[in-house]
Amino acid sequence: MILSGKEILRHLGKEIIIEPFDPSRINPNSYNLSLANELLVYENDLLDMKTPNPTRHITIPPEGLVLEPGRLYLGRTNEFTRTDKYIPMLEGRSSTGRLGLFIHVTAGFGDVGFAGYWTLEIFCVQPIRIYPDVQICQIYYHDIDGEYEPYQSGKYQNNTGGDYEFSLGLNGLGSCATQYSSEYFDAIIRRDGFKYTLHFEKGELVGKMKKEPTDRKATGSIFRWKPDLAVFTDIDIPKEYFEDTLKRQAVVNAGVTFTFRDQENGKFVKTDYCYPNGILDYVNEIAGEQTLTMPQFWEAERKGRDREDKPEYKVRISAALCFSNRVNRIEYYHNSSWLEHGGAPEKAVKNAFVYAIDAYCKQTNKYTKSESKITFQDVADCLVLVTNCFSTQTSYENQTKKAITNKFVQDAMAEFFRDRLHVYFIENKQEAERIADQVLVNKRSRESAEKARLNIKKKLTGSLDIANRVQKFVDCRTKDVSKREIYIVEGDSALGSVKLSRDAEFQGIMPVRGKILNCLKADYDRIFKSDIITDLIRVLGCGVEVQTKKTKDLSAFELENLRWNKVIICTDADVDGYQIRTLILTMIYRLCPTLIQEGYVYIAESPLYEITCKDKTWFAYTDAEKAEIVKKLEGKKLSINRSKGLGENDPEMMWMTTMNPATRRLIKVMPEDMERTMQIFDLLLGDNLQGRKEHIAENGYKYLDQLDVS
């Protein structure tokens, strides 16, 4: 007997699970399933039933994908389904069949208890365009007659209690997938007084299962495998990934030792990870000894449901926490998985901690008059918290399983933390005082930083109108940012020379007055008090990036607000000019490094020598170029003039050598050189005094002839 649509609805959330569910897709005796946006196709024309057949992924774009006739595509449903007491069956829809598109023509029936996404065999007789999320097939539910393997043991129906109540990963899918993708896979299982041994090669069982008696006390499983390089084409996995994974598993599995063996120089280096008290030991490790409060361990168990039409399930909540003014960290784990993006537990913690601490601050009159309430960021800045929960039903945000969405888990955890914090504050008044005081310190510091950020942003990104003109800044006429260039020059004399030489249509000028502040050594307060620097940033228009945790709230950088296509540093070709150039580069790297990373920053080369022979002139930018030109003019009467500075160059020369896009020389500051450059900057301009002394001792003799000594 096939269930009617009404019967499907009646059993939904109980014996029948369809997630996500849309009531509009219910038919008289079926439910329409939709197509996910990914397909698999076989790479080989000839397929072999005894060997793995390589495949490649195809993503179905929103505008659709045209399927080729005579080719098999493997798709899957968007919907996850699970059944109990009924047999699921999949059929293509008649509307797709009439178009010559055939869906899932084999293995239409699933097993009682099937849980997962459906793989769809897709084949067409003529070209047809398909789309993601289109309703492509329908699922039916049949009664089953007679006895059947019910999957009602605790192993599979973990709602009912028993040894497997909070266990997961028990259907063997992970082991099956691993052995299919391995060169070999060995399984040794000890239980009930016997040892069972299986050996697989490339997904196939080699020989038969061996069964032999063993000590009844000896229990457990051992799995060994070697990944198949035909399947895993990229195996460059960093050592840190394995170490981090094993450590996290040790944290959430109290008392279990996880061993990592790494082969180095022919020998194995062994590292053990074990936390006898689980997350409590981990919190102690993170927080250290000097904490505001003693570490706490709380746990509870709750039972409920996500919705009225959903089945009831259990959640076991455990948490370890303390408060600190030195470190902070919050991590969420669920069913032994690290929830990198949190989801339901994160929402619960934010709600409960803000509620409890805000209530305490109000109760004890810690807020000043008309002061705003605390935020979770204020709490998180001094909180060390690790939660480790298990539930008999789990809904993940997506297949990456980095966040869960269970409404009941969220509500249960929020209530749990609210209650525990309320009692904790009553029983530990001194610690409650310290917590509230520290959270308020964090809040007021954040608000002060935000006020400073807004002031700085206003100062640095204000419009350049007549009333807000930057002193001596010379703008260009065009408003087309893709054409605009800003020349940063040293001093008024260079300003005059460049101004007479430029193309006023697209070239602007910003002079700096002498040597600007060394931004590498100065703190942000001092930097933003410098008129030269703030004027430069205002002219650029993009704001600043602040890359330290303490002053992260000062960041107001927006690349799209940059007013220029090229930022050109133009200084004299002498020692002072090089130093000013370096200081400007340092400022840009410190305050807006993205300009360098995105290729907006250039250095304009200016010639060192002007060589004249008869009515022709050559410009040499280096001593080597001068020597080459002189060699070519050997025997001819010529004059060589050393360039003394940009301010002494005539406009025609400046245009030709420095300003004309067709003849000038620009050095693009490359992002790959940034790290090395900053090492040099730190050596020459930073606080590394000893390094600077050693550098001068080793290299100073090379520059003795450039010393300005009278």
Task: Give the C-alpha separation, 623 to 625, whole Å.
Answer: 5
**For the chain, how far is it from start to end, CA to CA, in angstroms?**
108
Tokens linked to 78: 């968007």
Q: Which residues contact 285 (CB under 8 A, 6 or more apart)?
A: none
Q: In angstroms, how far is CA 264 from the centroid of its own chain?
A: 31
Pairing of strands 566-570, 485-490: parallel
If one counts every other C-beta atom within 10 angstroms of the C-beta of residue 32, the result is 17
Mapped onto helix, strand or coil, the DSSP state of residue 252 is helix
DSSP, res 24: G
Amino acid at the residue 78:
N
Task: Give the C-alpha separation, 329 to 284, whole Å.
Answer: 12
With 0-12 / 13-18 / 19 or more C-beta atoms within 10 angstroms meaning exposed / middle / buried, residue 595 is: buried
Helices (H), 288-406: 344-363, 376-380
- β-partners of residue 322 are 384
Instruction: Say which residue the tokens 């269930």 belong to.
Output: 3
Answer for the pair 163, 207: CB distance below 8 angstroms, yes or no: no
For residue 570, give Cα distances in angstroms to 177, 510, 519, 652, 669. 62, 10, 19, 17, 13
Active site residues: 121
Task: Give the C-alpha separation, 587 to 518, whole Å.
Answer: 7
Sign of the torsion angle spanned by Cα atoms 657, 662, 667, 668: positive
For residue 355, give Cα distances in angstroms to 257, 329, 373, 376. 38, 20, 10, 9
Q: Where are the beta strands (DSSP E) in 26-181?
A: 31-34, 38-42, 55-59, 65-67, 73-76, 80-83, 86-92, 101-103, 115-116, 119-124, 128-130, 135-143
Q: Which of 347, 317, 314 is nearest to 330 (CA)?
A: 347
For residue 604, give Cα distances in angstroms to 301, 660, 663. 69, 11, 12
Task: Give the C-alpha separation, 294 to 288, whole Å.
Answer: 11
Torsion angle, CA of 409/414/419/424, rounded to 10 degrees?
110
Q: Which of 621, 590, 610, 588 is nearest to 486 (CA)?
A: 588
Mapped onto helix, strand or coil, the DSSP state of residue 31 is strand
Q: Which of 278, 289, 304, 433 is nearest to 360 (CA)?
A: 433
Task: Give the C-alpha separation, 578 to 325, whole Å.
Answer: 44
Answer for the pair 522, 529: CB distance below 8 angstroms, yes or no: no
Task: Give the C-alpha separation, 511 to 519, whole Å.
Answer: 18
If one counts every other C-beta atom within 10 angstroms of the C-beta of residue 186, the result is 15
The dihedral region occupied by 13, where left means phi > 0, alpha psi between -120 and 50, and beta the remainder, is: left
Pairing of strands 296-304, 267-273: unpaired
Q: Which residues contact 73 (CB under 8 A, 6 or more apart)?
A: 39, 40, 41, 58, 67, 121, 122, 123
